[in-house]
Amino acid sequence: MKSHAQAVVIGGGVVGCSVLYHLTKMGWKDVVLIERSELTSGSTWHAAGGFHTLNGDPQVAKLQSYTIELYKEIEEISGQSTGFHLTEGVFLAATPERLELLKVMQSQEKLLGIETQLMTPEEAEKILPIMDPKEFLGALWTPMHGHLDPSGTTHAYAKAAKVQGAEIYLRNRVTDLQQNPDGTWTVVTEQGTIQADHVVNAGGLWAREVGRMVGLELPVLAMEHMYLITEDMPEVEEINKSTGKEVLHVVDPDGEIYMRQERKGMLMGTYEKACVPWSPKETPWDFGHELLQEDIDRIAPSLEVGFRHFPPFQRTGIKQIINGPFTFAPDGNPLVGPVRGLKNYWCACGVMAGFSQGGGVGLALANWMTSGDPGFDIWGMDVSRFGDWTTMAYTNAKVRENYSRRFKVRFPNEELTAARPLRTTPIYERQKAANAVFGVAYGMEQALWYAPEGMEPVENITFLRSNAFDPIKAECKAVRGGVGLADISSFAKYEVTGPGAESWLSHVMANKMPRAGRLTLSPMLNEKGKVIGDFTVGKLADDHFYIFGSGAGEMYHMRWFEAHLPQDGSVTIKAHGMGLVGLTIAGPKSRDVLATLTDADVSAGAFKFLDFRRMDLGIVPALVGRVSFTGDLGFEMWVKPEFHGRLFDDILKAGAAHGIKLFGSRAMRSMSLEKGFGSWATEYRPIYGPFAAGMGRFVDLTKNDFIGREAAAQEKADGPKKRLVTFAVAAKEIDVMGNEPIYRDGKIVGYVTSGMYAHHADRSVAMGYVPADQADDTADGTFRIEVFGEMLPATILSEPLFDPKAERMRG
């Protein structure tokens, strides 16, 4: 075994081998993979081997499409067959809700340039004769569906990597990882040690154990997963003979099953509700090419549905039942990327759909390691999307929930209940008493909306406008016509101090820093000039700043901040999390309410838009900024958690004479859309530059030195290829959910990033990106947005629907 390598990949499953191959493809030849047993000895060897491109996140779907296209490449380089079978496939619908969802899936495939076909049950039966059309309402045919040989595919990745210079050491367990003072790693194995510049945790079933070697508890859990293989089925042989093709790959989500041909029989797998975690606390190192005890009784309810939906199964014997463990993260997506606070320690874990996503994961991580950027927007897979609140018990509850619902229809307004409530603010019980309907953001309970007195605080889950529609409209009306109060504790809050604070912030932020007592809005860019953050920066003194941003991005942004801190100790940054909580008041009477609470002069002339200062609100010490995400006159107030309840009570008391009303995050987003305000991880993503994202006015190119400056200057000079716009949509009972295609002249030109009903303006609104040369076309109905298969006329708004001159916000 060699003594040094540029990178050591730990784990010889399909994901580890993909990472190894892609590192060599990116030019890193001095790389090794270390596997405790043989290649494929974890989850890979017993996988069903299916693949497809469909994913609710179009960015992840792109990586899945890349993965499928990659198989021919690795076969050619390695000379190893992957057993690739592109069989085509069908998704079936047995309920009206599923049929509607098939229309959404068809739209998402169009964004990838993949043409699919919606079918009646009778049409589907012609290409899938083993189904009973009476059990279904419709189907979606897709060409990018099939299966492969898991072992052959993994060895193809491995051999291709070795052809390009990599080395692989088998039967050699990693026993410890030690970081050296210079940031490199000592990888301790059963056969000796190896020094590595970078370490990749692709441990699969042992990802937790590899994480624990460096003090990291990764939110992954293995679940038992079963599928059966039938005896030879005459109907299969007849399909093969009459069509010259294999049986289509089938997903019957209402039956909680998937199927494909296996030799002359069929393979049927299930994601059953009565799911069981495997080895929930630690994975035995000696587990290998073993299967778990089958439990057909547990999957019997799903099999009964499957056998009814596909009658030939009733006449065919079962040859084998496979039960093996697969790892999942709490939301079902992989854990990919660098780990905050651990230099050059990378994750590629929790990739349960390894043969759909493994190639894309390997590409993104190799890009990230070799060039500092994944090259794609992989927020949905970034390991930083989880915080320290994702304990082992939390992960267990969420993974079981996710597994049992894997094929269940997920409605856009549905809030899942496992492991809740967990993170709550001091005013949680007060909000609950006020009839709040809660959602969860980054593990924290937040009020979505408030049910009126006499109405149960429960939202009807639906694709249509729900029972929340009228209460949210009332909240928006109260704010726009008077004053509203909302909790904003879910925002991320950072404190930056030290003699180098201002110069450092000026380096990492694209806008110039504010004067003392002021706020400024600023994007944060990566070296390629792409937007990786959207912040409000407040300056209290020359060496004292606060930053406010997306709560979901806290770990993501702290990872970036800490990686770019000066080494001389002149700057300290702290993420306050729940150590600093907030409230906002907004609306034309909000100043009157604030004036009742403080002796400070908060008149328009004395407390201007974007002013920021310490202020006593009654007996509560607070930080107060004159800014509001509603786009209205408003104020944000930040306090220590022990003051949160008192301030909440005092504001309601002071606001009673002005008709104050509580409002939730849905009303907040509705009002922000009326101003054309985007949000992190929807509109503002690391695939767009600031000028494309409409943030150019917050970029100060006169500064000589900030990260991404040259790329931003080039984007401005060249003009962005796409631009973010806001549409008014001719919707009736259903609004956009996000990721819908945008059409012009019958061709897809962009996609929706977010949207909902703008209650004050009384319009359905969507934000999205279109080609820059089309972004000023404001003619009525020039565009169409496909919503559940219906082409809705959409018009680009030339100015915000509310207060286009910002007179309310600045007045």
Whether 184 and 344 have beta carbons less than 8 Å apart is answered as: yes
Q: Which CA distances in Å does 75 have to 23, 24, 175? A: 17, 16, 33
Report the SS3 class of residue 733.
coil
pLDDT of residue 521: 98
Between CA 535 and CA 787 the distance in angstroms is 32
Please identify which residue in the block is written with the tokens 């916000």: 809
Q: Whose structure tokens read 């390598």?
A: 5
pLDDT of residue 57: 80
Q: What is the pLDDT of residue 288?
A: 81
d(CA 112, CA 54): 10
Length of the chain in residues, anyone?
811
Rounded Cα–Cα distance for residues 28 and 108 (Å)? 35
Residue 261's nearest CA partner among 128, 358, 133 is 128
Among 358, 328, 363, 391, smallest CA distance to 11 is for 358
776 DSSP assignment: T
Q: What is the pLDDT of residue 704?
A: 81
Give the C-alpha separation, 18 to 15, whole Å.
5
Distance between CA atoms of residues 60 and 53, nearest Å: 9
SS3 674: helix
- Would you say 580 and 501 are in contact if contact means Cβ atoms under 8 Å apart? no
pTM of the model: 0.96
State the residue for tokens 């490199």.
184
The predicted structure's pLDDT at residue 740: 96
Question: Distance between CA 59 and CA 376 in Å, rounded?
Answer: 7
Among candidates 585, 613, 604, 505, which has minimal Cα distance to 549? 505
CA separation for the pair 765, 675 (Å, rounded): 11
Contact 56, 127 (CB under 8 A): no
Tokens of 424: 């709550």
**Nearest-10 Cα torsion for 403, 407, 409, 411:** 40
Q: Residue 278's pLDDT is what?
A: 97
DSSP E strand boundaries for 397-552: 436-441, 444-450, 484-487, 492-497, 518-525, 531-541, 544-549
Q: How many whole angstroms separate alpha carbon 791 and alpha carbon 787?
A: 6
For tokens 């500092």, the residue is 372
Q: Report pLDDT for 289.
A: 83
Which stretches does DSSP call E strand in 66-211?
A: 85-86, 89-93, 117-119, 138-142, 145-147, 167-169, 174-179, 185-189, 192-201
Among left, alpha and beta (phi > 0; psi -120 to 50; other), residue 577 is left
Run of H or E including 224:
strand 221-230
Summarised one tens digit per residue, pLDDT across range 615-643 is 999 999 999 999 999 999 999 999 999 99
Classify residue 684 by its DSSP letter: B
User: What is the phi/psi pair of residue 52, to 5°?
Assistant: -165, 170
The CA–CA distances, whole Å, from 144 to 68, 140, 147 equal 8, 12, 10
Mean pLDDT by 10 residues, the chain (811 residues): 96 98 97 97 93 84 93 97 96 96 93 93 97 98 95 98 98 98 97 98 98 98 97 96 96 94 96 95 92 93 95 96 96 96 97 94 97 92 94 97 94 96 98 98 96 97 97 98 98 98 98 98 97 98 97 96 96 97 98 98 98 98 98 98 98 98 98 96 95 98 94 98 98 95 97 97 98 97 95 98 95 89
On the CB side of 209, CA atoms within 13 Å amount to 21
pLDDT digits (tens, 9 = 90+) for 530-539: 999 999 999 9
> For the chain, how far is it from start to end, CA to CA, in angstroms?
70
- CA 373, 374, 377, 382 dihedral sign is negative
Measuring CA to CA, how many Å separate 504 from each of 372, 494, 496, 501, 529? 20, 14, 10, 5, 18
Give the up-direction half-sphere exposure of residue 300: CA atoms within 13 A in the CB hemisphere. 4
- The 10 Å Cβ neighbour count of residue 783 is 26
The phi, psi pair for 213, rounded to 5°, reads -60, -20
Both structure tokens of 311? 């009658």
Give the pLDDT confidence score for residue 331 in this predicted structure. Answer: 94
Evaluate whether 548 touches 533 at the Cβ level (below 8 Å).
Answer: no
Q: Any idea what the Cα angle at residue 260 is, between residues 86 and 108, rounded to 5°?
A: 60
Q: What is the CA radius of gyration of the chain?
A: 27
Assess contact for 348 and 202: CB atoms under 8 A: yes
Distance CA 660, CA 292 (A): 59
The enclosing H or E element of 542 equals none
Rounded to whole angstroms, what are the CA distances from 722 to 277, 686, 731, 768? 45, 14, 25, 10
What is the distance between the alpha carbons of residues 385 and 31, in angstroms, rounded to a whole number? Answer: 28
Query: DSSP string of 740-769?
Result: -EEEETTEEEEEEEEEEEETTTTEEEEEEE
Q: Tokens for 109?
A: 């495939």
| C-alpha angle 549-552-554 in degrees, rounded to nearest 5 | 60
Say if residues 2 and 194 touch (Cβ distance below 8 Å): yes
